[in-house]
Chains A and B, each alone.
Chain A
Amino acid sequence: MMTYDNQRFEEPQFYSSREEMDSLLLHDDFSKSKPSSSTGGDDDHRRRSISTTAPFAEIPTSESGDPLVHLSSFHQNPKSFNSFVDPPSYADAVIRSFESVQSAQISDNDAVSTSEPSVSHYFIRISVTEPRKKHDLANSVVSGGKNYLTYLVTTWTNLPEFNGTEFSVRRRFKEVVMLSDRLSESYRGFFIPTRPDKGVVESQVMQKHEFIEQRMMAMEKYLRKLAAHPVIRNSEDLRMFLQVQGNLPLMRTSNVAAAVDLREVVHQGKGGRDLVRMFKELRQSVTYGWGGTKPPLVEEDKDFLEKKMKLQDFELKLSNVSLQAESLVKAQQDVGETMGQLGLVFVKLNKLETEEAVFISQKTRARDMKNMATSSVKASRLYRELNAQTIKHLDKLHDYLGVMLDVNNAYSYRSKALLTVQTVVSEISILTSRIEKLEAAAFKIFGAERTGIQKIDELKETMRVTEDAKDRAVKEYKRIKETNKTEFERLDKEKREDFFKMLKGFVVNQAGYAEKMASVWETCAKETSGYAQSCS
């Protein structure tokens, strides 16, 4: 069982004052650290609470890069800002040692279920990059001859099913949709990750950089989720998607999903009969809401119902937490920004007092203002980093909201299967009663008409076929039930692990940065301690 942490994420967009601030940090040691790309194995993905490269380094970001690395020169007074950022302090050393302790602890927790190279040797990593425009000439049936985008899907793995350890293919979004549909069919009952939305795509929208970025990220996230699922990971469809060059064979898409599903279950038998049944079931499904969770007969499995309710409650509360988490992150960002702006003003004031100094008291004040400015700017940067980390941790909440969707989809397959069973069962009872009636009638009339007997025989034949269908339907339903059960267990376990990790990561993160900030302000307080008075 693998966890999968190579997430790319977006740094929140900060505006103008950030550039101003960055221009101050001309000689900042830490900003020299390059954004470390998350390469290699998964062993360092766990140490996420505080970034691993340098005390003030940023989390690896995507192409937009780290503004702190692009230092523009502050042309006016470069020298006076040298002292703005201190070398690594004791606090950092403390954080570091704590980190390694913590990561060791987490490793212990994870050893059972996640892939540490020492425990399980298998890993798989997927990335989606390099969007390219293509023009579709041939298959105009599919795309109408329009432009489309392809993406480079690269996989690194040592799983034996794959022939190779690193390979890439070009895929377009339509193929992702196809993959998703196939998996939905093949893995009914499983909590299959939901594929990214298609969205309304016009050729103009396709150009938009943002849209492409988002789609790429969504695709990557989706594929990684698939690879993280212990059962789906082994799917042949997935393997083909990741490895086989060229266009994937066109498969039936599931726009008429219901009919297709049911046909698989009842794939033999007289065409006419099946069609009638299919329409009956379709009608019933529509009555109860398509893919809805209200089967005509009450689902008897109490255990399932309990779990379902619990999960629904969980989903509700979770989405509330997710909402509040968003405001929290925004508020944290705001504090940091305002702190930075305050620092900048004090820089200006320091400049004014220094240049226009007529009195010594002004020089003293200038120095005090500089301290204030330095500390504020430092604190502001710490807030920024803290926030980037917080977003990462709390993202887990959003992930699980997505999982809830997957679970709901699995429910719908269950209800459909149950519906099929019930429909078949009712058919059987109808047939049975008809046969009984006819037999009773035939019994009365000695030497009945040939047609009567023939009819009974036909009905009995139909009955046999229908019984077969019933067997298959019941089997399918039972299978889905079992799958649901194991999936619930898997979900529980993963949920527990993931959330504990999230909580701990969040808490350690907050504590670590709070300590750093405390040290910044304690220094500042010490430097101004001469002004301390008993009361204002």
Chain B
Amino acid sequence: MQQRSPNGGGGLQSPRSPSSQPPFLSVSVSDPAKMGNGVQAYISYKVTTKTNFPEYQGPEKIVIRRYTDFVWLCDRLFEKYKGIFIPPLPEKNTVEKFRFSAEFIEMRRQALDTFVNRIASHHELQQSEDLRTFLQADEQTMERARSQDTGIFKKKPSDLMQIFRDVQSKVTDVVLGKEKPVEESNPEYEKLKRYIFELEDHLAEAQKHAYRLVKRHRELGQSLGDFGKAVKLLGACEGDALGTAFSELGAKSEMLSVKLQREAHHLLMNFEEPLKDYVRAVESIKGTIAERANAFRQQSELAEMIKLKEIDLNKLRLLRSEKMLDAEHEYEELKADGEEATKRFETIVRLMNEEIVRFQDQKTRDMGQAFHEFAKGQARLANAIADAWRSLIPKLDSLSVS
């Protein structure tokens, strides 16, 4: 007799009813608020998570985070996911007077939002435990996690051993006279590296000019406004038709000045920031390149050490020395390390290859959008300017004959 029970009695537990939606994880960073006073003051952000991932505590969660929390997350991801281009963070701004300017805060918020969203939509990074901590933990847990990992000794014990070994191998190198860094000889990879470095140069220049362009728009707006004011004053003292004409011109100038300031802001948020983001992304890639070089070097060094150890071991075997057992043990350890190092390196290579495709796609989209916004903004501004001045012409005509 079969007992039919929905979630099974002693039998198999049927899986939880699959959600009708595909799995999603969506995050938003909003509502910056100034906390604290004086030197200790900082900005906190509301981080809202909406998800149906099983590992998460429920469909929606809101936490409060500050910039250093984001830095922590970024560092953790960088450590754990070598080979993946970790989304870049906005820079830490140390200039006091800009720290709380509305514009700076908005730019930062936007960049942080982009940062978290990119992590959330990356198929590997979104699985990160640190991400879950970041998105869900209460403030005390967060603070604890954060302070654990700050300072010089932020590496885990296993990493410390690795550092020790690295130092050892470096010493060996010096002793053996091998001081040159070992590098891959992969022509495609060389090409990529060159590309990245050249790209960085050009992008930095582009961002510089983009920022300058924002400033220039502001300055033009300012000048036009001042000009308008001065012309209005002239109109007031002149009187009659000419005076009116001056006043009208002055008024239009002031109006356009406002439009210019607005466009400057639009340019900043929708063109200069994406360019800056691009620059940061390239810097992040450079970080990954460094990690790859590290991994490669470790792998080669271990390979060297294994070879040497093998020679050593054979010597000891011949001599039937009591040190032989220890040496064998060390040799086995080294070989395990060697395999691990190789695996780590190969993972990085594989991941990088995937990441680079994603990166190029992403950047084409990002830049395309930035260009579109730029062009739209400029067209909008130009049309506003044209309309304003055109509307003045019939007025001037009628005034000049009155």
Contact = CB atoms under 8 A, between A and B. Distances in A.
A252 interface: no
Contacts of B202: 345, 348-349, 352
A323 interface: yes
Contact of A335 (B191, B195, B217, B372): B217
Contacts of B378: 379, 517, 521
B216 A335 contact: yes
B307 interface: no
A504 B400 contact: yes
A105 interface: yes
B227 A359 contact: no
Nearest to B196: A356
Contact of A368 (B212, B364, B397): B364
Contacts of B368: 364-365, 368, 528, 530-531
Interface in A497-536: 499-500, 503-504, 506-508, 510-512, 514-515, 517-518, 521-522, 524-525, 528-533, 536
Nearest to B253: A328
A334 B383 CA distance: 20
B216 A375 contact: no
A346 interface: yes
Contact of A327 (B206, B223, B245): B223
A338 interface: yes
Interface in A97-131: 102, 105, 109
B379 interface: yes
Nearest to B397: A105
A331 B199 contact: no
A139 B372 CA distance: 72
Contact of B222 (A331, A358, A495, A499): A331
B12 interface: no
Contacts of B371: 368-369, 371-372, 524, 528, 531
Nearest to B386: A514
Interface in A335-351: 335, 338-339, 341-342, 345-346, 348-349
Nearest to B269: A536
A496 B243 CA distance: 10
Interface SS of chain A: helix, strand, loop or mixed? helix
Interface residues of B, number: 67
Contacts of A330: 223
Nearest to B235: A317
A336 to B, nearest CB: 9
A324 interface: yes
B238 interface: yes
Interface SS of chain B: helix, strand, loop or mixed? helix
Contacts of B258: none
Contacts of A364: 364, 368
B237 A500 contact: no
A381 B393 CA distance: 25
A446 B383 CA distance: 100
Contacts of B237: 310, 313-314, 317
Interface stretch (B86-94, B148-156, B169-177, B355-363): B355-363
A356 B202 CA distance: 14
Contacts of B375: 372, 375, 521-522, 524-525, 528
A95 to B, nearest CB: 11
B163 interface: no
Contacts of B47: none
B360 A362 contact: yes
A531 B249 contact: no
A361 B372 contact: no
A503 B220 contact: no
Interface in B169-220: 191-192, 195, 198-199, 202-203, 205-206, 209-210, 212-213, 216-217, 219-220
Contacts of B198: 352, 356
A503 B364 contact: no
30 contacts: A310-B237, A317-B238, A321-B227, A321-B233, A324-B223, A324-B227, A335-B213, A338-B216, A341-B209, A342-B206, A348-B205, A356-B191, A358-B192, A369-B371, A499-B246, A503-B246, A503-B249, A507-B392, A511-B385, A514-B383, A517-B382, A521-B379, A522-B379, A524-B371, A524-B375, A525-B379, A531-B369, A532-B369, A536-B270, A536-B373
Given A310-B237, A359-B361, A364-B368, 19 more contacts: A317-B233, A317-B237, A325-B227, A327-B223, A328-B224, A332-B220, A334-B220, A349-B206, A352-B199, A364-B364, A372-B371, A500-B245, A503-B246, A506-B249, A511-B386, A512-B386, A518-B379, A518-B383, A521-B376
